[in-house]
Amino acid sequence: MPRIQQLPESVITKIAAGEVIERPASVVKELVENSIDAGARRIDVSVDQGGTDLIRVVDDGSGIAPDDLPLALASHATSKLISADDLFHIASLGFRGEALASIGGVAQVSIQSRQPDQLVGAELSCQGSELGSVRPWNGSPGTRIEVRHLFYNTPVRRKFLRAIPTEMGHVCEAFTRLALAQPDVHMTLKHGGKDVYEVPATAQLLDRLRLFFGKEIHDKLYGVEAEAGPARLHGFVADPSCERGNAKLQYLFLNGRWIRDRSLGHALQEAYRGLLMTGRYAVAFLFLELPPDLVDVNVHPTKMEVRFRDGQGLYSLVFNAIRLRLNQANLTPRLQAPSTLGPPRAPFAAGLPVPPTWLQEPIPAYTPTQVVGGVTQPSNAPPMLLDETPSFKAIQLYNAYLVLETAEGMLVIDQHALHERILFEQLKRRVRAGDLETQALLIPEPVELTAEQAARTLEQRDALAQLGLGVEDFGGGTVLLTSYPALLGKRAPQTILKAVVDHLASKERVPTREQLFSDLLSLMACHGAVRSGDALTPEEIAALVAQRDLADDTHHCPHGRPTSLLFSRHDLDRQFRRV
């Protein structure tokens, strides 16, 4: 065993940096937090190459005295904390005195700063913890920090960085969190010189929510306000129809700081119980204010997790406030009973006047099988019998199931599961054969996403194109949908894209092409398929039943649920004691 040695300062700094600085977005977070702590009214962030090349943060805050500059870059040096006691009354975002030193250890940093009441300021640069000398600087009041070539001296960490759009997505997310927490500060973000966000100061949180998350969500928000003892909760929760496939649009802030908290996240989800399907997530923007001595923020290096004195009390506060608000919003009937079950329909009742788009899918050459009067007959006739009454006996029940008489017995088909399976097979076959027909949109549909979602989506642009989904960057978190697979008909291509986006965002790592294709095909099939609750016309029922024979595995939907159940003739007869 080698002897125990005290580690050199430069190694200590790199180790500390490992905890605080994970990627360019972490640098943006730390620098902007410092600007906010310095009382800045305006903060301009610009980055190049997703922040891997350059991150510049300029503020108009209180500045740093020239003599203090070297200290700002030293470990455990802070102006925000003097005694250990202060740790329990933290009112600033920073207090560990670690961020600038950490960044200085793994990048090339230059700081220029002037205090507003001084005629001259000073500048200092730092390369991998090596400080230059303090020189006079004559810029405008405030602080300007540039961080170049992050992880230039820690190649392993540099390798961990993801593609530029992904890193930029994280930067945007960090920026969004900071901007939501401080609506009264004017903030801007540029990437490669181009505007990403221009966020004017406002007294209204709603303005910011609209700017970052779009009109669609903005228009469906319910304000929440509640108090319990010294704790105060305010913010907005979205109508259940805004639900998402992951929890990314659940924002929680504590005393102006974005935090993650499992328990409060659970309280939020519980408040939506009965309004969302399992696996779906509410959208919410919640702000908690607590006296600083009721919370320990010193449990996590990036301070994204905290410990509450009275976690249970806060759980109840969040749950009750949101539940009450959703009840007031008159969502109560939906809380009790899902309304998908309509009255049973008469066989072949008149249905929609317009033929559904999925009927328009031309059936590839094959010998279709028709079920006629309980006898299975091969036939060369087109399976879609559009102008004749279908000749097999099938009825729709509960707008969800098709009951069919076959030679073997009574077949009960789950209309959604079967159609989903058929679409899945068709999509898969065509993508494989490279002849997936796409439908171009005459006017591309703008789809508003968060910047991170937009980045993740654009990162997969080629893969999506192969699946028939054409996407293009429109800037500012908006993606243009230019085409979609013709097979899916006109079933809200936007919705399908959003489901795809949610799926991409829910993945921790980049999926393999194979995995991505299989996931997205089943997702598109699911969204493109008729639903449980859709009333079908006789023609639609006929087409669906006829297409049954086209699929390789019609017994299971892509999620593994059965698509049909057979009650054999023999069993029926036996149950009724006929045999």
Binding stretches for Mg ion (CB under 5 A): 34, 94, 99
The Cα–Cα gap between 60 and 141 comes to: 6
Q: Which two tokens stand for residue 208?
A: 């910011």
Query: From the CA atom positions of the chain, what is the Rg in Å?
Result: 30
Which does residue 79 bind out of Mg ion, ligand ADP, none, counting CB within 5 to 8 angstroms by kind? Answer: ligand ADP
Q: Which of 13, 26, 35, 125 binds ligand ADP (CB under 6 A)?
A: 35
- Options 32-40, 151-159, 181-189, 532-540: segment touching ligand ADP (CB under 6 A): 32-40
Q: Using CB under 6 A, which residues numbered 42 to 71 contact ligand ADP? A: 59, 61-64
Residue closer to ligand ADP by CB (options 87, 510) is: 87
User: 């929890």: which residue's tokens?
Assistant: 247
**Among 34, 46, 415, 547, which residue interacts with ligand ADP (rule: CB under 6 A)?**
34
Whether the CB-CB separation of 113 and 69 falls below 8 Å is answered with yes
Contact 394, 418 (CB under 8 A): no
Nearest to 435 by CA among 480, 483, 486, 399: 486
CB of 122 to ligand ADP, least distance (A): 12
Smallest separation, CB 302 to ligand ADP (Å)? 11
Give the residue nearest to ligand ADP (CB).
94
Q: How far is the CB of 125 from Mg ion (least distance, A)?
A: 19
Which x/- pattern over 260-289 shows residues binding ligand ADP (rule: CB under 6 A)? ------------------------------
428 binds, among Mg ion, ligand ADP, none (CB under 5 to 8 A by kind): none
Q: Which two tokens stand for residue 281?
A: 């997530």
Identify residue 374 by its one-letter amino acid code.
Answer: G
Please identify, using beta-carbon distances, which residue of 43 and 500 lies nearer to ligand ADP: 43
What is the Cα–Cα distance from 421 to 153, expressed in whole angstroms?
52
The one among 13, 26, 78, 460 contacting ligand ADP by CB under 6 A: 78
User: In which element (H, E) is residue 466 found?
Assistant: helix 461-466
From 73-81, 195-203, 284-292, 517-525, span contacting ligand ADP (CB under 6 A): 73-81
The tokens for 117 are 């009441």
143 binds, among ligand ADP, Mg ion, none (CB under 5 to 8 A by kind): ligand ADP
Instruction: Give min distance, CB of 28 to ligand ADP, in A.
Output: 13
Q: Which is nearer to Mg ion, 92 or 370 (CB)?
A: 92
Least Cβ distance, residue 96 to ligand ADP (angstroms): 5
Instruction: Determine the residue type at 57.
Output: V
Q: Which of residues 533-552 bind ligand ADP (CB under 6 A)?
A: none
For ligand ADP, give the closer residue by CB, 257 or 430: 257
DSSP summary character for residue 473: E
Burial of 1 (0-12, 13-18, 19+ CB in 10 A): exposed
CB of 82 to ligand ADP, least distance (A): 11
Among residues 63 and 240, whose Cβ is nearest to ligand ADP? 63
Handedness of CA 377, 382, 384, 385 (dihedral sign): negative
> Which partner, Mg ion, ligand ADP, none, binds residue 59 by CB below 5 to 8 Å per kind?
ligand ADP
Full DSSP string of 339-354: TT--PPPPTT----SS
The pattern of x and - marking residues 83 through 102 that bind ligand ADP according to CB under 6 A reads -----------xxxxxxxx-
Nearer to ligand ADP by C-beta: 40 or 400?
A: 40
How buried is residue 312: exposed, middle or buried, by Cβ count under 10 Å (0-12/13-18/19+)? exposed
Q: Closest approach of Cβ 263 to ligand ADP, in Å?
A: 27
Q: In the complex, what is the shortest distance from the CB of residue 37 to ligand ADP, in angstroms, rounded to a whole number?
A: 6
- Cβ of residue 40: shortest distance to Mg ion, in angstroms? 13
CA angle 428–430–436, rounded 5-degree value: 120
Residue 66, φ and ψ in degrees, nearest 5: -50, -40
* Closer to Mg ion by Cβ: residue 94 or 485: 94
Question: Which of the choices ligand ADP, Mg ion, none does residue 411 contact, using the CB cut-off of 5 to 8 A by kind?
Answer: none
Residue 175 or 285 having the CB closest to Mg ion = 175
- Pick one of Mg ion, ligand ADP, none as the site partner of residue 62 (Cβ within 5 to 8 A by kind): ligand ADP
Among the residues of 38-183, which ranges form H helices? 69-72, 99-106, 155-160, 164-181
Best CA proximity match to 213, nearest among 445, 446, 449: 449
Residue 519: φ, ψ to 5°: -60, -50
- Residue 20 or 536: the one with the smaller Cβ distance to Mg ion is 20
Q: Are 205 and 180 in contact (CB under 8 A)?
A: yes
| 182 contact, one of Mg ion, ligand ADP, none, CB 5-8 Å limit per kind | none
Nearer residue to ligand ADP within complex by CB, 98 or 425: 98
The CA distance from 508 to 505, in Å, is 8
Q: Which string of DSSP letters, residue by residue, matches 374-398?
A: TEEEE--S-TT-TTS--SS-EEEET
Buried b (16+ CB within 10 A) or exposed e, 467-491: bbbbbeeeebbebbbbbbbbbbbeb
Q: Interface with ligand ADP includes 80 (CB under 6 A)?
A: yes
Q: Which residue number, 99 or 481, has a Cβ lying nearer to ligand ADP? A: 99
Residue whose pair of structure tokens reads 């094959």 in the numeric block: 366
* Phi (first) and psi of residue 379, to 5 degrees: -150, 150
Closest approach of ligand ADP to the CB of residue 87, in Å: 12
Residues within window 188-247 making contact with ligand ADP, judged by CB under 6 A: none
Residue 79 near ligand ADP by CB under 6 A: yes
Block residue for tokens 């996407």? 471
Question: What does DSSP assign to residue 276?
Answer: B
One character per residue 105-144, x = contact with ligand ADP (rule: CB under 6 A): --------------------------------------x-
- The yes or no reply on residue 303 touching ligand ADP (CB under 6 A) is no
Helix, strand, coil percent values for the chain (each to nearest 5): 40, 25, 35
Burial-class residue 83 by CB neighbours within 10 Å (0-12, 13-18, 19+): exposed
> Residue 377 in contact with residue 370, Cβ under 8 Å?
yes
Reduced to 3 states (helix: H, G, I; strand: E, B; else coil), residue 73 is coil
The residues binding ligand ADP (CB under 6 A) are: 30, 34-35, 38, 59, 61-64, 72, 78-80, 94-101, 143
